[in-house]
A and B are shown apart, each in its own frame.
Chain A
Amino acid sequence: MIPLLIVAGYLVTVIYIGIFAFRRRTRAAGGAEEFFLAGRSIGSFVFVLSLFGTNMTAFSILGSSGHAFTNGIVTFGLMASSSALIIPLSLLFLGTRIWALGRRYGFMTPVQMFRDRWECGHIGTVIFVVQAALLVPYIIIGVMGGGTTLRAISGGLVPFWLGGGVVALVVMSYVFFGGMRGTALVNTFQTLLFLAFGVVALSVIGAGMGGFSSAISSMIDTPAQAVLLTRERVSPWFFFSYTFIPLSSIAFPHIGIFCLTARKLSHFKQTVILYPLCMIAIWLPCVFLGVVANRATDVPAIKTKIEARQTLATQGATLTASERDELRRAASGDDVMLRLVEHYAPFWLAGLLGACVMAAVMASDSQILALSTMFTEDVFAYYEGKARFGENVQVQTGRLFVVLLTIVAYLIALRVPQSIFDLASQFAFAGYAALSPLLIAALFWRGSTKWGALAVTLWAGLAVAGIAIVQSIVPPPPGPPIVLWAPGGVEVFARGAGGLTVLGFLPVVPMTVVSVLLMWAVSSMTRKPAPETLARYFPASVPTRG
């Protein structure tokens, strides 16, 4: 009960921060720009921590430790170190330019920039639709993480549907009242909490397990677990594929929009340098604890997971599909971190750590606000709603959108059984990585056109839909991957337990490569924007229309 009360105290605190921001925003009276972008006045401290926190979701703590529990140390290289390289570079070279263009021309969303840069209207709306469709799964992750967390912390007292509902309601409240300022302040508070989480979790759980050295030694001596201390379970091609996933970060609208909130360009400096260090602070403890959880067989829930995994490995081929699904759910490691905390930490500390986990899982606030900003700016304002009804109605429309979106995400979360990690990586991340050439072309290639942008957008949307359809038709196999198409003996498509692969790569690789080729080919064949438009984006030279 004590942990649950501490988590409840945490939830009240973030609501208070949202209301505090609401009061400050009311005094600032800045209209839509104040609500959606905090008046472009976020200071360096809040910018650094909030931007980092915006990238950290339920996936970072629950998903990473769960993935490491099943797959071993490879999780750190797959997501943490690759993100630590790609995300700071994309912020340094793309994020700073987005910020500058936002300042210069007043953009509030990426779609506004695309419309202006490529002189297009309805194509911008298509980009909005695809971006919005890809962002919803990411929001669902937050709700699912909230449900999982509260259920585990309360020892099952709070069911999944209620936990997810409480988290959705709290997030909706402070986004509704506080807008971007409230969201940024809450994210800062949350980031501070989960930066502390790693140190506390490592020391407490390490002491509880009698030190990590003995756990690692035991794993080395057990062949079935020693493999988790290497990367044998994934192929180098699969590992390489994951370096494409972080390209999604800067293409996510909530990251692009957040880049517009910095008061000064120099705020990006601290952010990009500290980013890799923050990745270590969060991901190393989560991955490490996920791996050593395989020795925590004195935790009944974890022992059950290990037994389910062993049953799946030894008898999977003889079981029915529904029995395998049941075992997969039982073996899922999404709540393994919480089980460790629950077992090894004293009550008050379990509550505190539970609050830290809640902090991470509630990072969906930025996505909800971003979708609201996009809807009101890219659709409502663009199709004359702002001109007809005024800015006040625009902000109220944004708030209504926040409420509706949260309800929809919650209802979907109740019906989607897939693991947090799979949901995130297979749909939202791959889709946005495939959209990243849009941003690069808009900022660096004069020859890019609206038709190239449309081709990339449609391709990204259709490819994600195609993967989702194939994976729903072909269930994960109990053993080695099933080859779906192998012309001439070359295995083009295969379906493994982790999802679809293309020539051994994750789909994100061919999706992104095809996006680049489409942007190049279609833009080369179509009419460029007017020289005056190009001159505003590439002032060094004014090219002729080609």
Chain B
Amino acid sequence: MSRLLLILLVIVFYALHQDIWFWRTITPIGFGVLPAGLLYHVVYTFAISLLVWLLVRVAWPGHLEDDEAGPEGRR
């Protein structure tokens, strides 16, 4: 997956946090207790976990693992 696509995906997630469409709405009530605005953000947070899982799969900074061996020089 290209870097640009991943950056766009992160930007989309950032924008989705600002859900003005549920600002003054109580319904639908999720599971009989969660107002729409709260339900949205719970689902959104679950989706973030999937986003991060994807980023770990395709954008993990594996080159940094070279440093596991130890320090090159202590300061």
Residue from B45, B64, B68 with most neighbouring chain A CB atoms (10 Å): B45
In the complex, A105 Cα to B33 Cα: how many Å? Answer: 52
Out of A80, A116, A220, which one reaches B26, CB within 8 Å?
A: A220
Looking at B13, B25, B60, which has the most chain A CB atoms within 10 Å of its CB? B60
CA distance A403 to B62 in the complex (A): 40
Contact call A116/B38, Cβ cutoff below 8 A: no
Per-residue contact bits, chain B 41-70, to A (CB 8 Å; 1 contact, 0 not): 110111011001101100111001101101
The answer, among A106, A239, A284, A287, for a CB contact under 8 Å with B18, is: A239
Please indicate the chain B residues that have their CB under 8 angstroms from the CB of A125 in the complex: none
Which residues 136-155 in A have Cβ within 8 Å of B in the complex?
none
CB neighbours of B3 from chain A (8 A): none
Residues of B within 8 A of A343 (CB): none
Q: Are B23 and A236 in contact (CB under 8 A)?
A: yes
A220 to B34, CA, bound (A): 12
Give Cα A492–Cα B19 distance, bound, in whole angstroms.
Answer: 25
- How many contacting A-B pairs (Cβ < 8 A)? 137
Partner of B60, one of A229, A239, A269: A269
Q: Please report the C-alpha to C-alpha distance between residue A92 and residue B56 in the assembled complex, in whole angstroms.
A: 8
Q: Does B17 lie within 8 Å of A106, measured CB to CB?
A: no
With A104-B67, A243-B17 known as contacts, the answer to whether A284 contacts B74 (CB < 8 A) is no
Q: In whole angstroms, how far apart are the Cα atoms of A103 and B66 in the complex? A: 10
Q: How far, in whole Å, are A240 and B38 apart by their CA atoms in the complex?
A: 16
Q: Which residues of A contact B13 (CB under 8 A)?
A: 85
Contact B49 A213 (CB under 8 A): no
Q: Report the Cα distance A103→B65, complex, angstroms.
A: 10
Would you call B48 and A229 a contact (CB within 8 A)? no
What residues of chain A lie closer than 8 Å to B23, measured between beta carbons? 230-232, 236
For the complex, is A29 an interface residue (Cβ under 8 Å from B)? no
Partner of B75 from A116, A280, A287 at Cβ < 8 Å: A116
A106-B71, A230-B26, A265-B65 known; A272+B52 contact, CB < 8 A? yes
> In this assembly, does A264 line the interface, its C-beta being within 8 Å of a C-beta of chain B?
yes
Chain A residue total in the interface (Cβ 8 A): 53
Q: How far is the CB of A336 from chain B (nearest CB, A)?
A: 17
Decide yes or no: A279 and B52 within 8 Å by CB, A100-B67, A116-B75 being known contacts. Answer: no
A-B contact pairs, 26 of them (CB 8 A): A76-B38, A76-B41, A77-B17, A85-B14, A88-B52, A96-B61, A99-B64, A100-B64, A105-B75, A106-B73, A106-B74, A106-B75, A216-B32, A216-B35, A229-B26, A230-B23, A230-B25, A231-B22, A243-B14, A264-B68, A265-B64, A272-B56, A273-B49, A275-B52, A277-B46, A279-B45
If A73-B38, A105-B71, A265-B61 are given as contacts, then 8 extra A-B residue pairs at C-beta distance below 8 Å, sorted by A number, are A76-B38, A89-B55, A92-B52, A99-B64, A101-B67, A107-B75, A232-B23, A284-B42
Which residues of B are at the interface with A, using a C-beta cutoff of 8 A? 10, 13-14, 17-20, 22-26, 29, 32-35, 37-38, 41-42, 44-46, 48-49, 52-53, 55-56, 59-61, 64-65, 67-68, 70-75
Q: In the assembled complex, which residues on chain B have CB atoms less than 8 Å from the CB atom of A240? A: 18
CB distance from B18 to the nearest CB of A (A): 6
Question: Which residues of chain B are near A287, meaning CB under 8 Å?
Answer: 38
Bound-state Cα–Cα, A419 to B73, Å: 46
Are the C-beta atoms of B74 and A280 separated by less than 8 Å? no
- Residue pair A273, B53 in contact (C-beta under 8 Å): yes
* A84 CB–B CB distance under 8 Å: yes
Cβ proximity bits A51-94 to B, threshold 8 Å, 1 near / 0 not: 00000000000000000000001101100111011001100110
- Residues of chain A within 8 A (CB-CB) of B56 are 92, 269, 272-273
A212 interfacial by beta-carbon distance below 8 Å: yes
Q: A92-B56, A230-B37 are in contact. Are A213 and B75 (CB under 8 A)?
A: no
Residue of B at shortest CB range from A234? B23
